[in-house]
Amino acid sequence: MQNPTIIPFQPTLPYRLPVVRGNADYNQYRTQILLLERLMVQSGFENRLIKADLIKWSAKAKNLSPRAQQRRQIESRRALRCTIVMILLGENYRGLAARLADSPLLQQFCCLIEIDRIQVPSKSTLQRYASRWDQGEIRRLVTELLRQGAEDPASLGLAEPVDLDTVFLDTTCVEANIHYPIDWVLMRDAIRTLIKAVGLIRGQGLKHRMEEPQLFIKRVNNLCIQMTHAGKKPDSQRQRKHILRKIDKLVGVVRGHARRHRDLLDKHWAQTQWTRPQAEQVLRRIDSILEQLPRARHQARQRILAGELVPSRDKILSLYDKDVRVIVRNKASAEVEFGNSLLLGENLQGLIIDWELFRESAPADSALLPQSIGRMEAAYGRKVKAVGADRGFDSRTNQLGLEWEGIYNGVCPRSPFQMANRCRSWKFRWLQRRRSQTEGRIGIFKNGFLDQPVRWKGFAGRQLRVSWSVLVHNLWVLVRLVQSQAEQKESAAA
């Protein structure tokens, strides 16, 4: 069963939703949900994603009966729709579980209503649903959906095809879910994590001589409070160095206790109630902190005791996420952000047609432009005809490259003399006016569809969340386009 096909089956009877009068906002929200469901069914992209899941499942599953495949199909459909609803509503897993239990509209959309019961997934199940597909499969789905809208707009309910000829590029930052990387707070995090792991080991009966573990957390909290208040004293530098030496000494004591308990667990794990994989989970947690602790201590000593700067490439920003970067934005809200750079490209209709999240520090914007154009041409099988962007994307190489490829250059030039000459063209002025709306599109995308900060763990989690958010954002834009066309027809008929 290497290439399974979707088995048709009798769906459950539709639930008759109550009629709500006098609330225009709810009626508009309900109309969007119903239009979204129709778009997912008519376009066929839901079946494509379910089939991709079936292919992976059939390669690993032992029971390949039609009954088992039907259950898998139903679960995949629920996983897709629950994840879409979660991002569309801006809910977390726990909040979405409560909304699903309370809303007949969402229960019907997520296929949770059965004849004899309504089974609402728990928050843990919703988290597994969101990670059922990887970001590559989501990206392919977005690409196929946009190509379908460009080649066959009627299948999506659109009167006009999706525009893939013009793109507007800009970059932003996807913030990671970390606190501000202060040196002594990193050391406090290390102590807390190690002491909690030691507490778990001691709770299983494996003990080495030491004080009560919670006393170490209490001591480091008191020292961090003193460090915070030391900045207000006249001799703040001397006080901060004195307190840091105390924190560093405490870190050394906790590290020794953690190593001894780690060795106890590794040798005598069979005496606990844990399985070996459960014991290894605690061992990995301790090893991860012990591995980074020397660098974190050296960083704190170098910055506070020696007063030296640490290069950004050598900084530890978080003990729990190694793929966080320092991004200098010089914005009014924050001069420096911590996360990963994100390139977004939208078309004239507001659809996101290209995106890239960078694990390492992103190259200059001017180097991103040819990469984005090449990625779009490979994905959609057609040439880009015009590109608009701010002056950060301009370079002599890009100007010559766009001219060579026959792509209209709507990038704002760095040179004032070139800017004056380019503004004589109405098309350039129009592209620049339209390009300014991309800032608003980034705000809509980040605030409405992407958590800030993103709470999905690690770079892979942030990458998957960005892909899901692009998919839901584009579905939302397509639904709004269909609604706008229907309103225009009604007004024309009237």
Residue with tokens 């190509």: 147
Question: Is 291 within 8 Å of 428 (Cβ atoms)?
Answer: no
Of 151, 166, 136, 135, residue with least CA distance to 373: 166
Quote the pLDDT of residue 10. Answer: 61
Q: What is the pLDDT of residue 3?
A: 67
Check pLDDT > 70 for residue 14. Answer: no
Look over the chain and give the mean of its residue pLDDT values, rounded to a whole number: 90
12 confidence band (pLDDT: 50, 70, 90)? low
DSSP H or E segment with residue 29: helix 24-43
What integer pLDDT is reported at residue 314 of this predicted model? 80
CA–CA dist 494, 483 (Å, integer): 17
The class level of CATH for 141-177+323-493 reads alpha beta
**Would you say 206 and 261 are in contact if contact means Cβ atoms under 8 Å apart?**
yes
| Start-end of CATH 3.30.420.10 domains in the chain | 141-177+323-493
**pLDDT at residue 202 greater than cutoff 90:** yes
pLDDT tens-digit readout, 408-430: 999 999 999 999 999 999 999 99
Write out pLDDT tens, residues 227-238: 988 877 788 889
Angle formed by the axes of helices 365-380 and 135-151, nearest 10°: 70
Report which of 102, 134, 188 is spatially closest to residue 466, judged by C-alpha positions: 134
Whether 2 shows a pLDDT value over 60: the answer reads no
Is residue 130 pLDDT above 70, yes or no?
yes
- Residue 61 reports pLDDT greater than 90: no
SS (HEC) of 288-322: HHHHHHHHHHHHHHHHHHCCCCCCHHHCCCCCCCC
Q: How many CB atoms lie within 10 A of CB 487?
A: 10
Look up residue 360 and give its DSSP letter.
Answer: S
Q: Average pLDDT in the 197-219 region? A: 93
Spatial separation of the C-alpha atoms in residues 295 and 289, rounded to whole Å: 10
Asked if 8 and 47 count as a contact pair (C-beta separation under 8 A), the reply is no
Q: Label residue 100 by pLDDT band (50, 70, 90).
A: very high
User: What does the longest C-alpha to C-alpha distance in the chain come to?
Assistant: 85
- Taking residues 152-164, report their average pLDDT: 91
Cβ contact 359:340 at 8 Å: yes
Least confident of 8-22, 150-164, 235-249, 270-284: 8-22
What is the per-residue pLDDT across 349-382, written as a single tens digit (0 to 9) for each? 999 999 999 998 888 899 999 999 999 999 999 9
Q: Which amino acid is at 105?
A: L
Helix axis angle for 183-203 and 276-300, nearest 10°, is 150
> Around Cβ 18, how many Cβ atoms within 10 Å?
7
pLDDT of residue 1: 45
